[in-house]
Each structure stands twice: as structure tokens, then as C-alpha cells.
Amino acid sequence: MNYIIPFLILITIVVFIHEYGHYYFAKKCGVGITDFSIGFGREIFGWNDKSGTRWKICWIPLGGYVKFFGDRNVFSESEQQEVINKYNEEDRKKLFILKPLYQRSIIVAAGPLANFVLAILIFAIINMISGKDMTPALINEVVKDSPAFVAGMKKNDKIISIDNKKVESILQVSTFINISTSETIEFIILRNDQEISLPVKPNLVDGEDSLGNAVKKRMIGIKLSPLNNEFNKQPLGPSKAVYYSVKEVWFVTVTSLNYLGKMFTGSADTSQLGGPIRIAKITGQISEYGLIPFFSIMAYISISLGLINLFPIPMLDGGHLMFYLIEKILGRPLSQKTQEVFFRIGLFLLVSLMFFVTFNDLKDLGLF
């Protein structure tokens, strides 16, 4: 229960924000909405608002949906006339399928974008309340015969960039090293006021993260320590807080895409790809450290949800946007039969992915 309750809170908030993005812009565009659901399956409880929308919580808490008036889903309808003929002129104004292409695209894209906005807001609040670490990354020790030693790193070197990513905090060093998928990592260090480029080939070792979970780590053999053993954590003003928040969201997005690309080419560790079970486990572990770590992981999960939903896979928001792009290019929607073929492919891909990440999750729990 220590893991399940924090996970349910996190996933409910993230999914609600995603679906509310769709809902908000659908209402702005005059689209009728019959259902706003958190979760799938049988309804636990719900209520109707004054516009007739049914707000409900369902038993399977792994997603949600907004159902539009007269519509089965949000992809382009080619055989529209049969649907249109069911409604009078007033009701037709509420049909999603009759809205201009740009409005349909905005409504669909609003869900993932809402997740990015949520992440930016969370990071900004944390930056203003807790502050952002700005401690310089000074090397305190270089292990003899380690990759860093072989590359020429020395005590008191200051790391200023890793693989062209500027190091603004001592806490970023291990992150940048472990997200790198290159065989050799490029370090820029500052020594005696001179910048020196040092390529380092890390060792891949079995280890544990800060929560005790088994992970593959890239190690180069250095120990870092803040000057006078004091971390320089600075609360930021609103503008700087938002700036660094946007920067963090962009970094996580680009890094995730790069890592996924490396997975497809076989040069990244696919065992690190997790699903709901691992998310629940990590959420429960992190929630024990307080609200700020809990909301931090919520921001990262929100980014992941927004990003995954933008993939051009039918059944996801990105798949709908792909259909709209094709509709724009062709000047007409794809035929219903063609769309159904794409949706079957999308369903197969999503089910395959779910099986894969669930297997990783169970293996992580020691069940395989």
C-alpha cells in the first residue's frame, strides 16, 4: 500500500491534466463532451455537470479519456455523412468531426502539451521554494588506473561540460555520464584557467541507484565534492525558475528521444525501459523522502506521458495528428478501412510494448 497509494495519486493527477488539456480546448472550440473519465472499465463513481458531461472515476487507473459528442474517437472520419444525418443543425455544431482541421489538431495536441506545462510548473515551483543547486563540479579524487585516470583527469579539475552539455551543478555529472550512449564521453575540464578536452571511455558495471534498485552504471573513476563541503543551492525568482524549468523539460525530452533511438539501433540497454509496475515502485520509494521528491518524479512522469502520446502511433494522440497531416496533404481523410488497418497495427505495437515493459518490471522484482 505504501507504493500503490502514492502511485495512484501521481497517475490520477498526471492523467487528469492530460485529459483536461483535451477537454479545455474542445470546449473552447464548441465541441460537445459526453464523458471525462479517469481510468478505464467499470465506473466507480461519477457525476454530471450542467453541460451534460459525465465526470467519472473507473476501476483501471492506467489512463483516461475524453469522449466527444457523437464521436467514437478523435481520428479523421471519412464516412461522415451517416454520423451527421443523425443530428439536427444545432447538434451538428457540437460534432468534433465537423470542426476545422486546425481546431481538431489543437484539441488533440493539447493533452500532451498540458503534460509539458504541468512539468514546467512543478519544476518552477520547486526552483522557487527549494532552490536550484549551482555547486561547481570539482574533482576531489581520481582513482588510479580508472578510465578518468587514463584520460588524464586530475584532482581539482573543474568539469564544465559533458558531451557538449553544460555542467551547472555537481549533481548533473553522474546524470550526464549515465545518459550517454556513446562509447567515449567527451569531457571539457577547466585546469589553471585553461579548457581541456578529455575523451573518457567509461566502464559499464552492475550497481544500484539511490533507491537501491539494480541498474547498469557507467563509471569513470572520479569522486566529486563541493568546495568546503557546502552545496550552493539558490532559490530562484519566477522568471529564472521558469527558464530553468523549460530547460529541464527540453533536456529530459531530447535525452529520452535519443535513448529510445539508441534502443532501436541496439546500442542502449533496453532493460532500463520500465512500465507501470516499476513506476509504482519508484514512486513509492521516492514519496518516502517527502513532497518535493514526489512532485519531481511526477514532473518526469508527466513529461514521459506527454512525449509518448506524441509518437505517430495510431491510438495515441500523435497517431491522430499523423492522420490530420495526411488529411491536410491529400485534401481528404484516409478511408475508414485504411485507418482501421493502421489502428490494428497501433494496437499491436502498444500491446507488444506493454508486454515488454511488464517483463522488465517483473524481472526487476526478481520474478524472472
Annotated catalytic sites, by residue?
A: 19
Contact criterion met (CB below 8 Å) for 70 and 96:
yes
Q: For every residue of 217-276, which 3-state class applies, written as one string?
A: EEECCEEECCHHHCCCEECCCHHHHHHHHHHHHHHHHHHHHHHHHHHHCCCCCHHHCCCH
Coil vs helix vs strand at 36: strand
Question: Got the DSSP string for 279-290?
Answer: HHHHHHHHHTT-
Q: Are strands 214-219 and 132-133 parallel, antiparallel or unpaired?
A: unpaired
Nearest to 31 by CA among 43, 22, 41: 22
Residue 38 region by backbone torsions, left for phi larger than 0, else alpha for psi between -120 and 50, else beta: beta
For the record, the C-alpha cell of 271 comes out as 532493460
Say how far apart CA 71 and CA 83 lie, in whole Å. 8
Nearest to 74 by CA among 106, 46, 121: 106
Coil vs helix vs strand at 206: strand
